[in-house]
Structure 1
Amino acid sequence: MRVTILMLFLFLAGLAEAQDVRELDKRNGFKDIKVNTSVLDYEGLEFKKETDDKLFPEAKIYVPVKGYYESIGSLKIYDLEVKTYRDSIFQIIVVTDKDPNLYKGLKTAFGEPEYHYRSGFYHWTAENLRLSYTPYQKDKIEMKYESFLMRNKLKKDKEEVVEAIVDDF
């Protein structure tokens, strides 16, 4: 009997954590910036430069316009970069103060994170999105939102290019 109750309790605890991580997919990004959407929909972002990302060729970086995305509650945002592939957002990087309340807030919203021992960072992984929480300098934290859907889109685009070459023989 005790074993059954214990198993039920562990099952429900695991189920509750999985529901928390789903909140990451539901929010789908940082503040009102949503991954897998067009960067052109956000008046608070402006083009900064083109870059060659490891995964995404010809990626573009957008940064906030003065007066936009300057804080998370009382925490100052030191850097915010939005990376795009064909104008669709695939990554959001936020650098802010190291504050235990930020970590507590993330745990409250998304549940207990996983710890990546090799790289030394925490992350929450949902079906479509990963949020990593990494030390950045001595007194700052970097949060990185990464879209799995955009990776799949890139893979599909590459396959279409190969098919077009094959069809052209």
Structure 2
Amino acid sequence: MKSIVILIFFLSSIIGLGQDYIFLESKNGFREIKLGTSVENYPEFNRKDNSNAELFKLSLNSKADYVYVGSNDDKIKTAKILFIYLTTNNNVISEIKVVTEKVLNVYAILNSAYGEPSSKHGDKWIWKTNNIECSIEGDQNTIPGYHIVYKDISNERIELKKMKLESTKKAQAEL
């Protein structure tokens, strides 16, 4: 009986993710830049310092540690990639932010690649798996370009589970 319950849980989690979300999970980042890898694998990125601090002033990128300035050939379909920002934790990439020109087909490309978003908050669309979150935002005039963000959320989920378990134990102790 226990094995049947495990099998049903396993199959439902596979079906729940959907084929397109499996692609997001398998990509594990943007192009050849992978979440959870050492930033040292990407020498084309420049570490934040006094000489390039101006590139990090946009509030959405203020936490980033590294930047790559796109060339004219760096594009997503017809949208030029302006910058790619990396946020690291102990030199391990935890977040990738791709800033593109405002070209309407960027959302359509993500939607075609990953399927329908998991959720939408205002002008931000989010695709989420157990370990990775991809979002795009920037329809407001206050945000220059589109920002596509890939985040490693596996640690966040572990922390949330710990908090929930602690909360459950405290509630159970009251009964």
**Same fold, TM-score > 0.5, yes or no:** yes
Report the alpha carbon displacement of residue 64 of structure 1 after superposing the two structures with TM: 1.3
Tell me the alpha carbon deviations over residues 36-88 of structure 1, each in whole angstroms, 9 at most, x when there is no partner: 1000011221211499xxxxxxx761111675983323321222210000000
User: Where in structure 2 are the equivalents of 1:49-64 lying within 5 Å?
Assistant: 49=49, 61-64=65-68
Query: Would you say 1:93 and 2:97 are equivalent positions?
Result: yes
Rounded to whole Å, the distance in 1 between the matches of 2:37 and 2:91 is 8
Aligned pairs, how many? 133
- Match in the other structure for 1:103: 107
Pick from 124, 135, 141: which aligns with 2:146? 141
- Show structure 2 runs of 5+ residues with no match: 1-13, 57-62, 160-175
What TM-score comes out, normalization by structure 1 length? Answer: 0.65
Check conservation: 1:77, 1:95, Cα contact below 8 A: yes
- C-alpha change, 1:60 and 1:111, in structure 2 (3 Å) is closer
Check conservation: 1:47, 1:60, Cα contact below 8 A: no
- C-alpha change, 1:120 and 1:75, in structure 2 (3 Å) is closer
Tell me the alpha carbon deviations over residues 97-149 of structure 1, each in whole angstroms, 9 at most, x when there is no partner: 232322221111111013333x5411100121000111255362111111013
- Match in the other structure for 1:74: 78
Identity of aligned residues (%): 29
More strand by share: 1
